[in-house]
Amino acid sequence: MNLNKEVVNLPVPLGTLSPGQHAEINSFNGANGKQGDELQWRNRFLYRLHEMGFIPGERVEILNEAPLSGDPITVRIRNGVYAMRREDANSVLVFVRDEA
Amino acid sequence: MSIRIALVGTPNSGKSALFNKITRSNQRVANYSGVTVESAEADFTFSDRRATLVDLPGAYSLRPYTDDEGVLLDLLKSHAFEAIVMVVDATQLERGVRFVMEVLKSFPLPTVIALNMIDLARAREFEINVQKLSELLGAPVVGTAAVKGEGVTELLLQLNEVLQNEQKCKDTKRVDTPKGEVADSNPDDVAAEILAFYKKADEIVKSSLKKPGKMDERSARIDRWVLHPFWGPLILLSVLGLTFQLMFNLAEIPMQAIQSAFSWASTQVLTLSFLSEGVKSFLVDGILAGVGGTLVFLPQILILFLLILFLEDFGFMARAVFLLDHWMGKVGLHGRAFLPLLSSFACAIPGIMATKTIESKKDRIATIMMIPLMTCSARIPVYTLLISSFIPNRNLILGVKVQGLVMLGLYVVGTGFGFLSGALLKRFFLKGATPPLLIELPSYKWPSLESLARGLVYRGKLFIHRVGTVILALTILIWFCVSFPKAPQGSQNPIESSFAAQMGHKIEPLLRPLGFDWRIGMAMVPAFAAREVMVSALTTAYAVQSAGSEEKESERLRLSEVIQKQWSVATGLSLMVWFIFAPQCLSTIATARRELQSWRWAAAMVFYLFVLAYSFSFLTYQIAVKWI
């Protein structure tokens, strides 16, 4: 791995990655001006992600994207595979990594 | 005294399979997130204890994401259980152990943990130190492979032991009142708590995992095809098309057998000299014709369910959600609405109940309003009758037949209008953001024959129960309305004077523009109670009529030939269209009202379906009359 590249590497939203890309979870996005029900759902979504193992430092891999639209995507973490929409996946910020 | 035991676990952990193995009941096992919406329970005995096992809805945590998961928390908090059996997917240890810790902390009851699908874990070279895991969790852990029955006896022995220990220390130690409260405090604090909990679970797993297993590359390989940008949609369409094609082709022989059996029984009854003509008419034209006319569709319904069960257990349905999510998004819903909608192809009632898995109230209303337009199995008898009567069974190409294609067309039109209605509702009446989609794609696995068989027996029983109760009662009622009052001797058309005919004549002016005569109108009235009764109503009506004339005995059960002679093709087509949309059945509307707690939405449902049915039948008939 190129160390130099590592330094300038900034976290990107998970929803922007393509199938086959690997990444390491860095942090989670703020509420982004969401309010009311929308905020509530976003929180619950994040809780659920945490419960499924989406925690900082964890490795993820994008496996598939849906035909035509390219959305939703499937994300593999540990031994589980989960489908989510790109927009929602953007709540997770990741560093792109080479395959371990 | 019987004790109550809660069965708690994540979706796709084989929880229902374990339930089946312990209780030998008919609860279905499905490889799909959130199938067990209603909790099932069954009695069983172990180590001289009588117990009731309650299969609670699958959940990933005690922090409900959907109403469905809320049920789990409510039931656990109700203090109704003396023990808990937790089911954990052995190939997804971290997630499962986290949930176990959460439950143990909130509900400190005697608990045993089934490390299920241990056979799959072994195959993927996981090496788990079960002993260590038990020690770290402070509760017995048993490796099980529920589908094969492995480890189930051991699990029950351990359960007996924890219950005995509980008994011993009951006097000395009082169990804390279950807390089970998940306060929705500061979101950051909640998140931090979950993260801390997960990390702890991770440590426990790390120290009890001698060797972490391999990823499920087999499922990933299958997904490269099933979720492929080009092949994926093609596979999905082929699977659905093949399902319908199989349903029609495989059912042919058993259907003929049922038909001949009823025809034989009718002939036997007619030869019984000690029965009066009136009793014979009641038995043959009323009961045998009516019940036979409906029962004949049992093979088709069973085949459809077998295929749906197979696809669910195999893991294909979750993939279908993924493939269809974008299109559901166009409606303003997300992929999760797919399961209730799909169940509605069997029956709208379980479909409406399954909407509990939908997070947002508005999305739930929209889905429920769409459900009556999904083609339920009660329409199959009617569609089959009409298609076999009015559509030629020509081969197109490669064994694809016109009849199968028309059937698919009816499904597509109904579903299409369902989605259109949903989209309009979401756009104009039920505006609001759709909650994030998050769905697990479980590992592919071959469904066990046992669970398929159980599921089928369950469905078959439901259908036969319906035939034996609602449909039998309505059939008798219809026979009565068709047979009385008796026509004067020597009347040309004995049915003309009956109650049913009077009713049919009354609504005929309303139905004439749709191409329906009073006889169809007469059969349509009881069809509001149950759609498939349409077939037995028509059978009864025409059988009674032909009994008066001198038609051959063999025609009694050949309704198809009769209506072919009596109706125009336009009428047949118009009736097919009517059955796509008509606001039926009563139980669907009652269930919708109960689930939504609203008369207004139920009334709106009846109204919009009626408008659709009337307008499109009208158009179909008027166009068909001119062009065909």
Nearest to A52 among B60, B187, B435 (CB): B60
Between B588 and B90, whose confidence is greater? Answer: B90
Q: Model confidence at B494, in pLDDT bands (50, 70, 90)? A: low
Contact check, Cβ <8 Å, A82/B325 = no
For residue B231, pLDDT over 60 is answered with yes
Q: B92 and A80 in contact (C-beta within 8 Å)?
A: yes
The predicted structure's pLDDT at residue B300? 76
The predicted structure's pLDDT at residue A8? 56
Residue of B222, B180, B210 lying closest to B64 (CA atoms): B180
The predicted structure's pLDDT at residue B185? 66
Nearest to A48 among B65, B230, B322 (CB): B65
Positive or negative torsion for Cα B611, B612, B617, B618:
positive
Q: What is the pLDDT of residues A44-100, one digit of tens each?
A: 889 999 999 999 999 999 999 999 889 899 999 988 999 999 999 999 999 998 876
User: Can you give the pTM of this predicted structure?
Assistant: 0.79
Strand order of the β-sheet with A22-28 is A12-13, A92-97, A22-28, A59-65, A73-77, A80-84, B438-440
CA of A30 vs chain B CAs: smallest distance (Å): 10
For residue B552, pLDDT over 70 is answered with no
Instruction: Mutation target for A interface from B336, B437, B439, B443: give the one with most A CBs within 10 A.
Output: B437
CA B403 to chain centre: 25
Between B90 and B358, whose confidence is greater? Answer: B90
Nearest to B437 among A52, A78, A88 (CB): A88
* pLDDT-wise least confident of B176-180, B212-216, B587-591, B604-608: B176-180
Q: Is B398 left (phi over 0), alpha (psi -120 to 50) or beta?
A: left
Nearest to B92 among A41, A68, A80 (CB): A80
Between B585 and B83, whose confidence is greater? Answer: B83
H-type alpha helices, B553-585? 559-566, 569-581
% of residues, chain B, pLDDT over 70: 88
For residue B548, pLDDT over 60 is answered with no
For residue B146, pLDDT over 50 is answered with yes
Residue of B nearest to A55 (CA): B195
- CA–CA dist B290, B542 (Å, integer): 11
Contact check, Cβ <8 Å, B60/A82 = no
Contact check, Cβ <8 Å, B227/A42 = no
Residue of B299, B321, B326 lying closest to B311 (CA atoms): B321
The predicted structure's pLDDT at residue B531? 80
Q: Model confidence at B181, in pLDDT bands (50, 70, 90)? A: very low
Q: Which residues of A touch B (CB under 8 A)?
A: 28, 37-38, 41-53, 55-56, 63-69, 71-72, 74, 76, 78-85, 88
- CA–CA dist B563, B547 (Å, integer): 16
The predicted structure's pLDDT at residue B31? 34
Contacting residues for B399 by C-beta, under 8 A, at least 6 apart? none
The predicted structure's pLDDT at residue B560? 79
Q: Residue B1 carries which DSSP code?
A: -
The predicted structure's pLDDT at residue B489? 65
Nearest to B190 among A47, A49, A83 (CB): A47
Q: What is the pLDDT of residues B503-543, one digit of tens each?
A: 888 888 999 999 998 888 888 877 777 787 788 778 777 76
| B433: chain A residues, CB-CB within 8 Å | 37-38, 41
| Residue B196 CB neighbour total at 10 angstroms | 12
Between A9 and B124, whose confidence is greater? Answer: B124
The predicted structure's pLDDT at residue B272? 83
Contact check, Cβ <8 Å, B63/A53 = no
The predicted structure's pLDDT at residue B173? 42
| A46: chain B residues, CB-CB within 8 Å | 187, 191
Contact check, Cβ <8 Å, B437/A83 = yes
> What is the amino acid identity at position A33?
G
The predicted structure's pLDDT at residue B32? 32
The predicted structure's pLDDT at residue A95? 94
3-state secondary structure of A28: strand
The single residue listed with the structure tokens 């336009």 is B570
> What is the amino acid identity at position B359?
E
Contacting residues for B410 by C-beta, under 8 A, at least 6 apart? B375, B379, B383, B576, B580
Positive or negative torsion for Cα A33, A35, A37, A42:
positive
| A88: chain B residues, CB-CB within 8 Å | 436-438
Q: What is the pLDDT of residues B43-90, one digit of tens each?
A: 888 888 888 888 888 888 888 877 667 778 888 887 788 999 999 999
Distance set, CA B393 to CA B57, B144, B240, B562, B580 (Å): 45, 51, 20, 18, 21
The predicted structure's pLDDT at residue B491? 59
- CA–CA dist B264, B259 (Å, integer): 9
The predicted structure's pLDDT at residue A5? 52
The predicted structure's pLDDT at residue B404? 80
The predicted structure's pLDDT at residue B607? 94
The predicted structure's pLDDT at residue B55? 84
* B299, containing H or E segment: helix B298-314
Q: What is the pLDDT of residues B308-328, one digit of tens each?
A: 788 888 989 889 889 988 888
For residue B353, pLDDT over 60 is answered with yes
3-state secondary structure of B131: helix
| B432: chain A residues, CB-CB within 8 Å | 37
| B10: chain A residues, CB-CB within 8 Å | none
Nearest to B326 among A28, A56, A66 (CB): A66
% of residues, chain B, pLDDT over 90: 26
For B244, the token pair is: 């319908």
Q: B425 and B350 in contact (C-beta within 8 Å)?
A: no
> What is the amino acid identity at position B615?
S
Query: Which runs of E-coded beta strand occur in A14-72?
Result: 22-28, 59-65
CA of A50 vs chain B CAs: smallest distance (Å): 6
B187-197 mean pLDDT: 85
Q: B54 and B39 in contact (C-beta within 8 Å)?
A: yes
Between A60 and B247, whose confidence is greater? Answer: A60
CA of A63 vs chain B CAs: smallest distance (Å): 8
Instruction: Mutation target for B interface from A52, A61, A65, A90: give the one with most B CBs within 10 A.
Output: A52
Q: B137 and B104 in contact (C-beta within 8 Å)?
A: yes
Instruction: Mutation target for A interface from B182, B198, B226, B322: give the one with most A CBs within 10 A.
Output: B322
For residue B225, pLDDT over 80 is answered with yes
Nearest to A66 among B92, B322, B435 (CB): B322
For residue B285, pLDDT over 80 is answered with no
The predicted structure's pLDDT at residue A100? 62
Contact check, Cβ <8 Å, A83/B213 = no
Query: Which runs of E-coded beta strand occur in B321-449?
Result: 438-440
Mean pLDDT of chain B: 82
> What is the amino acid identity at position B279?
V
Query: Which runs of E-coded beta strand occur in B17-82?
Result: 40-46, 49-55
Residue of B527, B574, B26, B584 lying closest to B294 (CA atoms): B527
CA of A5 vs chain B CAs: smallest distance (Å): 29
| Residue B230 CB neighbour total at 10 angstroms | 9
Contact check, Cβ <8 Å, A81/B441 = yes
Contact check, Cβ <8 Å, B99/A51 = yes
Residue of A nearest to B220 (CA): A63
Contacting residues for B91 by C-beta, under 8 A, at least 6 apart? A79, B117, B120, B121, B124, B126, B213, B216, B443
